[in-house]
Amino acid sequence: MIVVLLNVYLALLFVLVKFRIVPFNLFWKVSPVLVLLLLLIGLFIPMNWGAPQGPALAVRQSVAIVPDVAGEVIDVPVAPNTPLKAGAVLFRIDPVPYEAQVKALEAQLQLQQQRLAQMTQLQSTGSGRSFDVEQRQAEVDQLKAQLEGARWNLDKTVVRAPAAGYVTNLALRKGARVANLPLAPVMAFVDTAETVIGVEIQQIDARYIAAGQPVELTFKFAPGQVFTGKVESVLQAISTGQVQTSGAAVTPKTIQAAPFAVRVKLDDQTFADSLPAGAAGDAAIFTDRVTAAHVIRKVLLRQIAITNYINPF
């Protein structure tokens, strides 16, 4: 854009000199350099913090599906990348061992309840001890708790979708054996309930960004189009500034000014929901500073939107 403006000035200067409106003296000879410096210092450098621009990325939450019980998979009714509702069945684990455990505890509970009733009757007639009644009551309560846990395990043999979304990279098959280990997820579930758009802004350009400011975005996924949105928040931490609990002393490392992340919400929610996770693009945030440069930033962003037809990077 600065080259375009400079060429416009050179063309105008050529016309003025050609028609002898201005003399072609030393001042007008060096004036293109002066105009270039004025454009840089007065417009284009301030534009970086008045209307900062950075790469944008569409992100969705991913849930690692780990079953609560172990066993053999007997059914996987889902297909990869197919929309699912919350509570839809992802896969089923063989329930026979857990059904047997429930039946065994139900039988024990029934027997203990009968014995409790007998002990209570004996106590009421003066032929039994209150200690025996309390002991039987404790055994009944313990069996009820065990039965509740067994029924919970039986219910967890059917693994369901935690939210609306889809399963991706599905490799689980009938006959596979799964375990309830946190480090051994069996599938990845992508939550489509919310689409998060993140924009990286260099630290030197982020000082005037605030929630509610207008944003324009263009994505490689939709070349030639520009979408509007609003700044939701500026994330207050990045990994380079995070301290984790450790038994070691401070480890020196090279400090770099990594970009800050800005969370953006698109006005077109339908398009946001259609964006694949990982869709990349560019975004410009329009602050309340250097408003004269906003038009130039809009033009630059639309140039990027057009070049997205042929530029894969």
Res 313: pLDDT? 82
Closest by alpha carbon to 170, among 68, 81, 37?
81
CA distances from 21 to 7, 17, 34 (A): 19, 6, 20
In a domain, 270, yes or no: yes
Residue 257 CB partners (closer than 8 Å, separation 6+): 202, 203, 204
Same domain, 77 and 19: no
- The residues with which 227 forms a beta bridge, in sequence order, are 217
Domain that holds residue 267: 51-60+194-240+256-313
Same domain, 273 and 289: yes
In a domain, 101, yes or no: yes
Calculate the dihedral angle through the C-alpha atoms of 205, 208, 210, 213, rounding to the nearest 10 degrees: -80
Count of all residues that appear for the chain in the document: 313
Lookup result for tokens 């699912």: 84
- How confident is the model over 226-247, as a mean pLDDT? 85
- How confident is the model over 43-62, as a mean pLDDT? 89
- How confident is the model over 289-313, as a mean pLDDT? 90
Same domain, 216 and 297: yes
Res 8: pLDDT? 66
- How confident is the model over 167-183, as a mean pLDDT? 89
Res 263: pLDDT? 95
Higher pLDDT, 123 or 300: 300
Same domain, 6 and 99: no
Closest by alpha carbon to 282, among 56, 1, 47, 57?
56
Same domain, 226 and 265: yes
Res 1: pLDDT? 61
- Report residue 219: phi and psi, to 5°: -120, 150
Same domain, 39 and 93: no
- The order of strands in the sheet holding 89-93 is 158-160, 89-93, 71-75, 177-178
Same domain, 159 and 207: no
Split at pLDDT 50, 70, 90, the class of 183 is confident
Split at pLDDT 50, 70, 90, the class of 210 is very high
Res 251: pLDDT? 76
In a domain, 250, yes or no: no
Residue ending a domain, among 171, 187, 203, is 187
In a domain, 69, yes or no: yes
CA atoms of 163 and 85, how far apart (whole Å): 7
- The residues with which 234 forms a beta bridge, in sequence order, are 262
Same domain, 25 and 55: no
Q: How many structural domains is the chain composed of?
A: 3
Res 23: pLDDT? 80
Res 152: pLDDT? 96
Contact present, 166 and 187 (Cβ < 8 Å): no
Same domain, 110 and 156: yes
Higher pLDDT, 183 or 128: 183
CA atoms of 297 and 44, how far apart (whole Å): 9
Domain holding 127: CATH number? Answer: 2.40.50.100
Same domain, 175 and 198: no
